[in-house]
Amino acid sequence: MTLSVQHLWLIPALPLAAAAVGAVLPRSGRVPAASAAIAAMGAAFVLSCLALNGALADPARHAVHNFAWFDLGHGAVMLGWLLDPLTAFMCVMVTFVGLLIFVFSLGYMRDDPHFARFFCFLSLFAAAMLGLLVANSLLLLFICWELVGLASYLLIGFWFHRPAAAAAAKKAFLTTRLGDLGFLLGLLWLYDSAGSLLFYDAGRGVLESGVLAGLTAQTVAGGLALSTAIGLLLFCGAVGKSGQFPLHVWLPDAMEGPTPVSALIHAATMVAAGVFLVARLYPLMAADQALAAVPVHALTVVALIGAVTALLGAVIAVAQDDIKRVLAFSTVSQLGYMMLALGVGAWTAAIFHLLTHAFFKALLFLGAGSVIHAAHHEQDIRRLGGLRTRLPATYRTFVIGMMALAGVPFLFSGFWSKEAILHAAHGWTVSPLPLWAGLAAVALTAFYMTRLVAETFFGSPRSPAAAHAEESPAVMRIPLVLLAGCAILLGFLGTPAWPWLQARLAGAPLHGSLEHLFEGGGLMLLSIALVGAGIGLGWRFYGRRPRASAAAADPLAAASPTLMAALAARLGCDEFYAATVGRLHALAAAVADGLDRWVLGAAVSGVGLLGQFGGVVSRENDEGALNGGFDAAGAGLRGAGRSYARAQTGRVHGYLRALAVAFVVLGLVLLAGGVP
Amino acid sequence: MPPAPIFATLDPDRAFLERAPLLVRDFVTGLFPPSLQWLAGNLLAVVVIVLFFASLFALLTLAERKILGRIQNRPGPNRTGPAGLLQPLADAVKTLVKEDIVPRAADQVLHFLAPVVLVSLALMAFAVLPYGRHLVPVELDAAVLYFFAAGAATELAVFMAGWASRNKYSLLAAMRALAQLISYELPLLLSVVPVVMLAGTLSTTGIVAAQAGWTYGVIPHWHVLTPWGAAGFLLFFVSALAESNRSPFDLPEAESELIAGHLTEYSGFKYALFFMAEYFGMTALCGMGVTLFLGGWQAPCAFLEFIPSYAWFFAKLLLLLGVFMWIRGTLPRLRIDQLTRFAWKFLVPLALINLGTAAFWQLSAGWSGPALQLARWLVALALVAGPFTLLGRRLSAGVAPRTYRYAA
Amino acid sequence: MILLLALLILVPAAAAMLRRNLVHSALLLVLSWAGLAAFYLWSGAEFVAFAQVLVYVGAVSMVVLFAVLLTRQNPDRAAPPDAAARLRAGAAVLTAAAVGAVIGHAILATPLPAAAGAPPVLTVRQLGLELMGRHAGSLLVIGALLTVALLGAVVLAAAEPGEKPGGKP
Amino acid sequence: MSPLHLCLLLSTGLFCIGLAGALSRSNAILVLLGIELMLNAANLNFIAFWRYGPAPSAGAGVVFVIFTIAVAAAEAAVGLALVIALHRHRRNLRLPEATRLKG
Amino acid sequence: MLGSGIIKGLAVTAKNLAGSFHDPARYVTQEFPEVQPQLPENSRNFPFLVADDGADPMGTLRCVACQICEKECPPQCIYIEKSKDKKPDAAGKLQLYPAVFAIDTSVCMSCQICVEVCPFDAIKMDQVFAIATTDRFNGLLLNREQLAKSNQYYHSIHPTEATEVDARLAAERKAAEEKARAAAAAKAAAPKPAAPPPPQPPA
């Protein structure tokens, strides 16, 4: 039994319907809202499995169903659904992980007064993500992309009465919006040059060779191929959404949302969207590989940014004390891995890692959620400890997740996917940097995950909350166990000996034999050694001699206080943004302010126009600055705003007259310019 | 539809009586030089319409008074001329020679223009009614829209009359009249939409053509004989009563209570013009009702086709007008709150639901076989009757039959 | 013919903008709108002409007149135009003249195709297919817009809960 | 000068009358009416171009005018509701004095 | 169900409409000039003066111009001038008579007070109603000759009442006659002492 591509829309439509149901229910409609959401997600999971079944029948085929959305000028704006193994695998993963997270939320959010709204938002989020996956049009993808952004804003700011949550939501929204600006520009440019936004459309789609040849044939400023330029612009969106350097700053802050949301965002959906986008657009991104004369290949940029992010995330994670922040930075780091893999050309490996990571990261987050839930919302690992005996189920599953993330050999899925990436990076000839960064991150990951587990579960409780922790209910434990099972099993789908997943994704025939298992054995040994070193060091610092109290100094900080402080401050990225972008904005605002004051004596219409212009400038600045510090900008903004406001006299006639005068001026300019 | 009619009929297109009006027209236009014949044709139509409906108006006033009299067990006017037939003439003479009073503070121009505008707009509506098989003065593609556009514009004249009188009671009454007209325009238009939807055209001739034919030669395919059509016709009829200020919706005038509302400051011939416009509007709405729901000029049975089509049209028109008068003789006047509540809480929802019924009827047009046909009818009837009963119950909730303590 | 129509459209419009009595202005505008409908009819856009009459002459004018009366615009009590008003009027006429000059110049400078023959024929059926086919989405949006606008208008114009129906004098 | 020129000039005239009215009159209702006139001028343009344009059978001009009429009706309804609300709060309709929304 | 009352009402009026053509009970109008109405006995309209003898109404008016009615009339529509001389009335007694007796029926409100106060049963209510006239000043001002109607006429319009009045008048007249006879007898007996007067009660 399969799901044909015409009916693929059902997968996102079901959660969307659940969201609609949740939206109209009153606050007391807890049971119907949750059951609608879970039922829709379960049905979507079943449908996704059917779709996967269909897609695997002919993995090389891109089944599409296109239709006209509306007519525009001479052509129609087309939308469509796409079913290929990439879509199908992603859908299964998203629906399955999502379903488990939904179930987990039943327990975690049990006491929240806005339980129904929470499930409404979760469903909306899942619907947007699934829509993004099944889209066969960059436009539809973009729409869902923005919906994902909206839903994440709503979810991160779910506890909006907490200022930190509201600020984090705003930050996430605006930071990703910055990347989306590039995405939108790339999208428009692509539409302008290719005349279509469909991915596959019987030879006319933008990912098909005919159009790609046309795109690579043109060059733009700087000698870049057109496809490179568009690819890089589109990649901006992925950078923002997937929390890549330099737009990674929102991701750790997004921990302000409820923990299931963190699990959803970091494991299955939002951050995966960026990786998925690059994987989906891989033919476009890789189109310039054949060209020798270009200054830079799009994929090179992807690989380098991925490498930097992988390393940076891992380094910063070492010094974080919040259990969720550690996981957040590890997500940044792992996403860097995926980008790295995409950049070096191993997109199947990237998706393999994406899938495995989705499961074990969801596991880790839900485990962290279980810890937090049990410890009465205590998140600081310095104040936890000794939970091994109090939360046995959580402990066991969490350790499995940790092992998977750290890449403990052979048994755990993370090992195989990470190995595949390192292998691909090894084979990349352009630069050795990704390989080195990857290897360093392997060791660091093992180290900080050991630290996390040791601090949280070993030793003795260091706060009353930890001392009185009680195991979470079954509705929360069962998802953990299921995810733990997947975190182990999934790895065997893509071992070098039997790379079933990669072959299915690429649509290539499967060549499995046991002798491939230890292919590139040297690299594998090196990475195993690094993992061992990381775990060993971590255990030596944190496990053997657990800290005595919450106030005790970190052993690593004792060794190198400066470095540790810098890492704890996340290498000062936020401060850097505040100092640069924020100050720039303040300066621009001051200039605009001065200009306005100077012009004030002139004609009202002049002020109005300038004020509007100044307003546009200020808004651009605003968007640039908001990902930095809001506070630094606030004062300047307020001053500027006050002076712009002076142009807003409230007199309708003034506005009208300004419009008319502007029109006359425009007309005169056009006439003088010879435009008939 | 069985192909062979039970009774042999003559070809209606060639019958002399059927073609008589056209022959007359051709004869008259033939008297003019060819370059002016189109003008002559149109002028002829205008003259015939004005004369015909003006005399119909005269007869209607008489007939109304006679029918009302009979309903009240009295003969009605019967002195002027044989059986009172010259009564309209006497009335005309009376209004013509009566003093024309214009209040000093009134807006002279608008006060004068109001009745003129009203009558001309009311007359314009006659242009698109198909009076017979080939008898439509102006064949318009958007005739229904034209008709209601002309009808909507009459509201302006009511306002002009009320405002120009510079009498606060006139103005208030005009606003009340406008509130009524606007409220009832909605169900009126909404009740027409299903017809347009099912006929697939806005042209009146097209709508009449859509109702052609008979089942077994005796059951006509008129819209009123379908569930949605019956409901639509009732809605149309009630709204038309209100739109033409007829009893029981004659609040704007309410001679006995409001001294004729916005017409208070009018006398003499101007008043007569208002009166005339009211009758024109009523006649035109009835004509539209005949066209939309009662099959226009179609004969009710196949064997009755030998009677010319225009005769059928006018027979139905007079029948409807008679019902108007009958209702006037029966029902007392509503209060303004009852009036608006009836429109917004009863007629409009019913009209909207009727739209759905008509859509169902259209979608189920392909159902064949007696069982499906029966199901189609039952569903459509349920869609009509259910909301009617429920809304009616809500509307009449808390209203019991009045008990008269001191009456026998 | 077009000059006649222009006269019918422009003269009432101009007069409407000059009158001090708001009701007269509104009624003159109705005349101008009717003239526009005549223009549409002359251009062969029958449906639009009737829609114009139905919407403008039948509905918008009513709303305007109701607004005029509900806001108690008494022409007798209107203040005579003061200096500021005169100045504003002068500026307005100047601005409008400038706009007119620019557009007029642009029009006259543009070579436009010569007269087409008979007015184009667009039956209601074609129009309906066009509306329901190519422009169905826009039609839906317009429908939603109208609904929302009506609801909004009702909310805006409805008396506030504490307010007496008559309001203060 | 072709008839299209004349139509466009007519529309320009109507637009300018509406503009002058909207700018010069202080009464909110008249300003709204002026704006309605400008909308009508735009409609007139659509019809003129449809009538004399290259592809009259397309009907896009007519469709557009229908939409504009619908939007204008909505605008009138909301605008006049605003006028009534304004009157309720300020007891007059003189726009130059209605500057409470000033920033 | 909504509308059932309306249908019932329509049925009623339809019955009336149809019945007016065949059912006399549903067609109650009498067409006046052709069909004179059968007025009930108690109907009344304007006053008239009763004359005992229809052949000589002016000579046999019962009115003695006492002017009570003129004084009592609320709208003051009666105008009376007394005669200078006296005439014998029906009983042969000399009485004044009205030289002018006029009623302005455009003012009269048909209150019947004049009838109530008249001690001579000389003014009664008439039944005429078709008194429309084209002269609104003089046509409605009725003079003595127009007002005078015979006792037979009175009998024809209000037979019961007229019989009563006649009986009463006859009784009065008879009493008066007897009294007169008694007086005459007394007068005749007065010279004769043999005929003693009837015993007088003590003063």
How is residue A449 written in tokens?
């995950």
Positions in chain D whose pLDDT score sits under 50: 103
Dihedral angle at the C-alpha atoms of A64, A65, A71, A74, nearest 10 degrees?
40
Nearest to D59 among C56, C92, C130 (CB): C130
**pLDDT of B237 strictly over 90:** yes
CB atoms B392 and E20 under 8 Å: no
The 10s digit of each residue's pLDDT in A9-42 is: 888 888 888 888 887 777 777 788 888 888 888 9
Alpha-carbon gap, residue E128 to E45, rounded angstroms: 6
| B216 Rama sector, left if φ>0, alpha if ψ -120 to 50, beta otherwise | left
Give the per-residue pLDDT at B12.
Answer: 61
- SS3 percent helix, strand, coil of chain D, rounded to 5, is 80, 0, 15
Q: How close, in Å, is residue D100 to chain C by CA atoms?
A: 17
CB atoms E16 and B389 under 8 Å: no
How is residue A670 written in tokens?
């056009």
**pLDDT of E91 strictly over 80:** no
Beta carbons of B260 and B103 less than 8 angstroms apart: no
- Among A241-255, B45-59, C76-90, D9-23, where is mean pLDDT lowest? C76-90
Residues 67-96 of C with CB under 8 A from A: 88, 91-92, 95-96
Mean pLDDT value across residues B116-145: 87
Please give the C-alpha separations between residue A416 and each of A278, A405, C164, in angstroms, as whole numbers.
Answer: 22, 11, 76
> What type of residue sits at position A466?
A
Touch of C by A (3+ CB pairs closer than 8 Å): yes
Residue E11 in contact with partner chain B when CB distance is under 8 A: no
CB atoms B73 and E13 under 8 Å: no
Chain A residues with CB inside 8 Å of C92's CB? 657
Please give the C-alpha separations between residue A569 and each of A443, A455, A456, A572, A628, in angstroms, as whole numbers.
Answer: 21, 20, 21, 6, 14
Strand residue runs (E) in C42-140:
none
Nearest to C99 among A70, A653, A664 (CB): A664
Chain B residues with CB inside 8 Å of C51's CB? 145, 149
Beta carbons of D102 and A648 less than 8 angstroms apart: yes
3 state SS for C80-101? CCCHHHHHHHHHHHHHHHHHHH
Alpha-carbon gap, residue A152 to A172, rounded angstroms: 8
The DSSP bridge pattern shows strands E123-125 and E94-104 to be unpaired
Strand residue runs (E) in A291-430:
none
Give the per-residue pLDDT at B8.
Answer: 45
Alpha-carbon gap, residue B244 to B249, rounded angstroms: 9
| A675 Rama sector, left if φ>0, alpha if ψ -120 to 50, beta otherwise | beta
Alpha-carbon gap, residue A145 to A14, rounded angstroms: 18
Whole-prediction pTM: 0.58
Instruction: Provide the 3-class DSSP secondary structure of residue E142.
Output: strand
Mean pLDDT value across residues B101-115: 86
Q: How many CB pairs under 8 A join B and C?
A: 57
3 state SS for A109-140? CCCCCCHHHHHHHHHHHHHHHHHHHHECEHHH
Nearest to D17 among C14, C52, C64 (CB): C14
The 10s digit of each residue's pLDDT in C106-138 is: 888 877 776 666 667 777 888 888 888 778 888
Residues 14-43 of E with CB under 8 A from B: 14, 16-17, 19-21, 26-29, 31
Nearest to E6 among B329, B331, B395 (CB): B331
Sequence length of chain E is 203
Nearest to D51 among C13, C119, C130 (CB): C119
CB atoms B110 and C27 under 8 Å: yes
Q: What letters, b where the CB count within 10 A reaches 16 and e where it falls short, cover A483-507? A: bbebbbebbebbbbebbebbbbbbb
Q: Residue A345 CA to chain centroid, in angstroms?
A: 20
Chain C residues with CB inside 8 Å of B148's CB? 54
The 10s digit of each residue's pLDDT in A464-516 is: 777 777 777 777 788 888 888 887 887 777 776 667 777 777 776 666 666 66
Q: How sure is the predictor about A542, in pLDDT bands with cuts at 50, 70 and 90?
A: confident
Chain B residues with CB inside 8 Å of E12's CB? 330
Q: What letters, b where the CB count within 10 A reaches 16 and e where it falls short, cover A638-658? A: eebeebbeebbbebbbbbbbb
Alpha-carbon gap, residue D25 to A520, rounded angstroms: 85
CB atoms within 10 A of CB C123: 16
Give the per-residue pLDDT at A430.
Answer: 75
Give the per-residue pLDDT at E113.
Answer: 92
Dihedral angle at the C-alpha atoms of C27, C30, C34, C37, nearest 10 degrees?
180
**Angle of the B309-330 helix axis to the E4-19 helix axis, nearest 10:** 110
> What type of residue sits at position A481?
V
Residues 75-94 of D with CB under 8 A from A: none
Chain C residues with CB inside 8 Å of B152's CB? 53-54, 57-59
Closest-CA residue in chain B for C37?
B149
Beta carbons of E110 and E45 less than 8 angstroms apart: yes
Alpha-carbon gap, residue A174 to D64, rounded angstroms: 37
Give the per-residue pLDDT at E198.
Answer: 55
Alpha-carbon gap, residue A198 to A282, rounded angstroms: 14
Chain C residues with CB inside 8 Å of A667's CB? 99, 102-103, 106
Nearest to B156 among C30, C50, C123 (CB): C30
The neighbouring-strand residues paired with E51 are E61, E150
Give the per-residue pLDDT at B1.
Answer: 42
CB atoms within 10 A of CB B343: 23
Chain C residues with CB inside 8 Å of A670's CB? 106
Q: In terms of Cα–Cα distance, which of D76, D59, D48, B147 is closest to C56? A: D76
Give the per-residue pLDDT at B320.
Answer: 92
Residue B178 in contact with partner chain C when CB distance is under 8 A: yes
Whether residue B239 lies inside any domain: the answer is yes
- Among A112-121, B88-97, D38-47, where is mean pLDDT lowest? A112-121
Closest-CA residue in chain C for D80?
C67
Q: How sure is the predictor about A116, in pLDDT bands with cuts at 50, 70 and 90?
A: confident
The 10s digit of each residue's pLDDT in E41-55 is: 888 889 999 988 878
Whether residue B85 lies inside any domain: the answer is no
Alpha-carbon gap, residue A366 to A106, rounded angstroms: 12
Q: Residue E68 CA to chain centroid, in angstroms?
A: 15
The 10s digit of each residue's pLDDT in A395-423 is: 888 888 888 888 777 777 878 888 888 87
| Residue to substitute from E8, E15, E20, E28, interface B, most B β-carbons within 10 A | E20
Nearest to D103 among A648, A656, A660 (CB): A648
Q: In terms of Cα–Cα distance, which of D99, D82, D86 is closest to A649? A: D99
DSSP state of B219: E
Q: How sure is the predictor about A601, in pLDDT bands with cuts at 50, 70 and 90?
A: very low
3 state SS for E69-110? HHHHCCCCCEEEEEEEEEEECCCCCEEEEEEEEEEECCCCCC
Beta carbons of B331 and E6 less than 8 angstroms apart: yes
Residue D17 in contact with partner chain A when CB distance is under 8 A: no
Q: How sure is the predictor about B234, in pLDDT bands with cuts at 50, 70 and 90?
A: very high
Beta carbons of A243 and A250 less than 8 angstroms apart: yes
- In chain E, the domains with their CATH numbers are 47-182 (3.30.70.3270)
Q: Residue A417 CA to chain centroid, in angstroms?
A: 19
The 10s digit of each residue's pLDDT in E140-168 is: 888 888 888 888 899 888 888 889 988 98
Q: In terms of Cα–Cα distance, which of A92, A1, A104 is closest to A45? A: A92
Q: How sure is the predictor about B3, in pLDDT bands with cuts at 50, 70 and 90?
A: very low
**pLDDT of B150 strictly over 60:** yes
**pLDDT of A582 strictly over 90:** no
How is residue C123 written in tokens?
């039956």
What rounded mean pLDDT belongs to chain B? Answer: 85
The neighbouring-strand residues paired with B219 are B215
Dihedral angle at the C-alpha atoms of C27, C29, C35, C41, nearest 10 degrees?
-100
Q: Residue B332 CA to chain centroid, in angstroms?
A: 20
Mean pLDDT value across residues A86-91: 85
CB atoms A660 and D103 under 8 Å: no
CB atoms E13 and B392 under 8 Å: no
Please give the C-alpha separations between residue E81 and each of A618, B223, C68, E59, in angstroms, as whole numbers.
Answer: 110, 82, 69, 16
| Residue to substitute from C53, C73, C129, interface B, most B β-carbons within 10 A | C53
Q: Residue A585 CA to chain centroid, in angstroms?
A: 27
The count of domains in chain D is: 1
Nearest to A652 among D31, D100, D103 (CB): D31
Share of chain A above pLDDT 90, in %: 0
Q: Map tokens 């009259």 to a residue.
A: D56
DSSP H or E stretch at residue A85: helix A85-108
| Residue to substitute from B117, B154, B159, B192, interface C, most C β-carbons within 10 A | B159
DSSP state of A409: T
Closest-CA residue in chain C for D16?
C96
- Among A76-80, A303-307, B63-67, C19-23, where is mean pLDDT lowest? A76-80
Q: How sure is the predictor about B319, in pLDDT bands with cuts at 50, 70 and 90?
A: very high
Beta carbons of A381 and A321 less than 8 angstroms apart: yes
Nearest to D99 among A644, A645, A651 (CB): A651
| B164 Rama sector, left if φ>0, alpha if ψ -120 to 50, beta otherwise | alpha
Domain limits, chain C: 1-72+122-158
DSSP string, B274-286: HHHHHHHHHHHHH
The 10s digit of each residue's pLDDT in E106-129 is: 899 999 999 999 988 889 998 888
CB atoms A653 and D96 under 8 Å: yes
Chain C residues with CB inside 8 Å of D88's CB? 159-160, 163, 167
CB atoms A650 and D101 under 8 Å: yes
Separate counts of helices (H) and strands (E) for chain E: 6, 6
Which residue range(s) make up the domain with B287?
102-391
**Bigger pLDDT: E203 or A217?**
A217
DSSP state of D95: G
Which residue range(s) make up the domain with D85?
3-100
| A410 Rama sector, left if φ>0, alpha if ψ -120 to 50, beta otherwise | left
Alpha-carbon gap, residue E32 to A627, rounded angstroms: 101
